Amino acid sequence: MKNKIAYLLFFIVAVMAAAGCNKKFLEDMKSYDKFDETMFQSEILTGSYIDRMYNYYFGGDNDPRKVLVGSWESNRSGSTEELGGNVYYTDPNKNLNLATQGDTYYATKAPDNVQNEPFTRIRFANFLLEKIDGGSASGLTDAFKKTAKGQMYMFRALQYFDLVRVYGGVPLVLEVQDASIDDPTIKLPRAKSSEIFDQIAKDLDSAAALLPWKWTSAQTDFGRFTAGVAVAMKSRVLLTAASPLFNKNWDNPGDTRWQKALDAGVQAEQLLTANGYGTTVKTAQSWGNMFTAFDNEANANNGEAIFTVLLSNATAGSVGVNNGWENAVRLKDYNGGGGISVPKGMLDLFPMNDGTRPVIGVNYNDTFFFQKRDPRFYRTFAFSGCKWGLKSNASKVAWIYRWKDASNNIGYPGANGGNSTNSPAVVRKGSNVGADSTAFVNSGTDIYDFRYGELLLNIAECYAAKGDVANCVNYLVKIRQRVYPATASANNYGIGTPGSKYAALEACLYERQVELAYEGKRFWDLQRWMLYDDDASIGDNTNSMLGIAKLNGTARQGYYWQFKTAAASSKTDPLTATDKNISIDPDAAAATFQAQCDALQALYQAKFQITPLDKPWDVNGSTPINMLFRSNYYILGLNSALLGANPWLTQTIGWGDYNNVAGTFDYRQ
């Protein structure tokens, strides 16, 4: 068990000791009517209250595909190019527009007891902010109060940020309210989205002023919010507010929102750099290792990780929350869950090793997709013949292919039923080469919610939106020079010089796809730029303006590497041990690595052929489908149960209200 902040344990033992083994404190957390400030009579009790908040917010955040604080679901990540298979929001057979089909993240009714829902979490933050400066809390030190309030401002900001991203405006509740059918003062209307963003920025400023840059004890406090988390998050929040989804004037040079986002990003960069951030990633190897090389209390010295979500290596049945990613990405042959197959579009996306974009038939052969690619490619994906180690075998090589015997029975290489995938590659990013294959499901590898690379990309995008192409390119170069060798510096590391602000914005969004792949960020980029399709009915033409292909109408594609000739049987691997001596190691010297890639290509040419999937990857039942993300899904409607219990709330445009009347709430205000 990691000895870090107790997201998972709530410090129950310490709390009960401080309360004379009285369980009343824990019972008080179960209902609103028993809330009182005696919870804050000691630093131990207050500390437990704060730590429980971390659990409410991040207890389910164990996989980078999962998004939304408190909820942690993967439907949104599954609605992108990164992952194959049909999911809720891109199913063309669904047409969600009724209140009965509205999203339930907000809640389905006014809560009458403590449930881990957004406004419960906001209430907990408001309660401490109201009570911490007086009454029973008078014995707490000013220093403790300061950090306690700073953490609550961060919690409230994070929750409102996800609420505004899902629903646009929601009621802005900044004080504790008691549920009542008779009190008109609690019947708050939905605030404008712009008002929510302003409040989030204000809360983040308050958090930054109150929180330390580093906590005194890395061993017990690493993972808590810091001033660095607050200033970086302000960059993300204001970037979202400036983007087309929430900003009808995003293309107007006179609009101030891009400048506010830029100011926040540049300030964050200056402050974070001054406090030791931004120095961890200096090579491609360090980029690949950044998620795991610091996976202990020394994480405090990881200059890439601005905000880290802590996970535990506790065994099953304990109160710890394990990382679910390690087991998910590992192949069956590694004793993992089977791997996350990579759609062909993602394999074809990454730049070449000179930074230029791949063009099939010009500088890229998609059959041998591993040849001469961006250094990040080899740290994001694993494929047949590449070294991908683990604790018991640091030199283990992945093999992903199949064969058929004379009767068309299929076989796969490796143990545990073999490595059966929908792609010749799987995701490896964020996996730990020191992970124990006997305990993948108990992985304690932490997850980065915000890292330094994202901050640089945020700044680049703001410069692009303002038409400052030169500074945009400077920041994109900062990203690439961290991983590319100096020999690849020509023509701005292959980026070139975009000819317009629109081309520069496209370059930023492309770089985000590569740098932040499989980190749970892609959906939010697609959403805030409305990139599934152009829709004149909502004034959306960003795909055509930026020259970005639409996702709607496409399907995720996969294929197999299949042995060219029939094997003796489905249980007999036709690839020889000598063949399997051929492997590539991206950490080898450049000349050695290229020779390894050439040898692997020769093996592929001699032994394998590309074959289509036995059935399409994206299906509804057994029927092939293409993605269709409808425009009213960008901002979701309120659920009918919530509207019924709170009739003063208006429904979002594009959704029917409780009585199936068209919604009127405009989220772009």
Helix (H) or strand (E) holding 403: strand 403-404
Residue at 142 is within a domain = no
Residue 228: pLDDT over 90: yes
Residue 113: pLDDT over 90: no
User: In the prediction, which pLDDT does 46 show?
Assistant: 94
Q: Who contacts 132 (Cβ-Cβ below 8 Å, separation ≥6)? A: 40, 46, 140, 145, 148, 149
**Helix (H/G/I), strand (E/B), else coil: 140:** coil
Q: Which one of 106-115, 284-293, 331-340 scores highest in mean pLDDT?
A: 331-340
User: In the prediction, which pLDDT does 186 show?
Assistant: 83
Residue 466: pLDDT over 80: yes
Residue at 33 is within a domain = no
What confidence tier does 1 reach under pLDDT thresholds 50, 70, 90?
A: very low
pLDDT tens digits along 56-99:
999 999 999 999 999 999 999 999 999 998 888 999 999 999 99
The answer to whether 177 and 124 are in contact (CB under 8 A) is no
Residue at 120 is within a domain = no
pLDDT tens digits along 236-253:
999 999 999 999 999 998
Give the other-Cβ count within 10 Å of 47's Cβ: 18
- As a whole number, mean pLDDT of residues 216-220 equals 79
How many domains, the chain?
1
DSSP annotation of 185 reads: G
Residue 572: pLDDT over 50: yes
Residues in the chain, overall count: 669
Residue 367: pLDDT over 60: yes
d(CA 555, CA 564): 27
Residue 297: pLDDT over 70: no
d(CA 254, CA 642): 39
The answer to whether 301 and 293 are in contact (CB under 8 A) is no
Mean pLDDT of the chain: 91
Sign of CA dihedral 639, 640, 646, 652: positive
Q: Which of 16-25, 92-101, 114-123, 189-198 has the lowest mean pLDDT?
A: 16-25
Residue at 367 is within a domain = yes
Helix (H) or strand (E) holding 619: strand 619-620
**Helix (H/G/I), strand (E/B), else coil: 45:** helix
d(CA 79, CA 88): 8
- As a whole number, mean pLDDT of residues 103-108 equals 86
d(CA 154, CA 159): 9
Helix (H) or strand (E) holding 510: helix 501-515
Residue 314: pLDDT over 90: no
d(CA 91, CA 629): 7
List the structure tokens of 530.
């409305």
Residue at 395 is within a domain = yes
User: In the prediction, which pLDDT does 315 show?
Assistant: 76
Q: How far is CA 175 from the centre of its chain?
A: 30
Residue at 226 is within a domain = no
Alpha carbon distances (Å) from 522 to 163, 181, 615, 649 = 18, 41, 26, 31
Picking from 399, 427, 397, 429, the residue whose alpha carbon sits closest to that of residue 411 is 399
Beta strands in 96-250 (DSSP E): none
Helix (H) or strand (E) holding 380: helix 377-380
pLDDT tens digits along 435-459:
999 999 999 899 999 999 999 999 9
- Torsion angle defined by CA atoms of residues 373, 378, 380 and 385, in that order, rounded to the nearest 10 degrees: 120
d(CA 248, CA 257): 11
List 624's β-bridge partners, or say none: 619
- Name the more confident of 473 and 181: 473
Give the other-Cβ count within 10 Å of 549's Cβ: 10
Residue at 383 is within a domain = yes
Q: Which of 202-216, 301-315, 389-403, 629-643 has the lowest mean pLDDT?
A: 301-315
d(CA 478, CA 457): 9
Q: Which of 101-110, 566-575, 627-636 has the lowest mean pLDDT?
A: 101-110
What pTM did the predictor assign?
Answer: 0.94
- Name the more confident of 337 and 11: 337
What confidence tier does 158 reach under pLDDT thresholds 50, 70, 90?
A: very high
Alpha carbon distances (Å) from 253 to 154, 257, 460, 468 = 32, 10, 17, 11
Picking from 280, 350, 285, the residue whose alpha carbon sits closest to that of residue 593 is 285
Give the residue numbers spanning the domain of 582.
325-428+559-612
d(CA 86, CA 617): 8
DSSP annotation of 228 reads: H
Alpha carbon distances (Å) from 90 to 99, 576, 634 = 19, 43, 12
List the structure tokens of 28.
């008080």
Residue at 593 is within a domain = yes
User: In the prediction, which pLDDT does 16 show?
Assistant: 35
User: In the prediction, which pLDDT does 109 show?
Assistant: 60
Q: Give phi and psi for 597, each to the nearest 5.
A: -60, -40
Alpha carbon distances (Å) from 602 to 264, 577, 578, 598 = 51, 16, 14, 6
Q: What percent of the chain has pLDDT over 70?
A: 92
List the structure tokens of 13.
């033992």
pLDDT tens digits along 25-34:
333 444 444 5
The answer to whether 324 and 336 are in contact (CB under 8 A) is no
DSSP annotation of 109 reads: S
**Helix (H/G/I), strand (E/B), else coil: 237:** helix
User: In the prediction, which pLDDT does 213 show?
Assistant: 94
- As a whole number, mean pLDDT of residues 590-594 equals 97
Q: Give phi and psi for 222, each to the nearest 5.
A: -60, 135
Q: How far is CA 343 from the centre of its chain?
A: 18
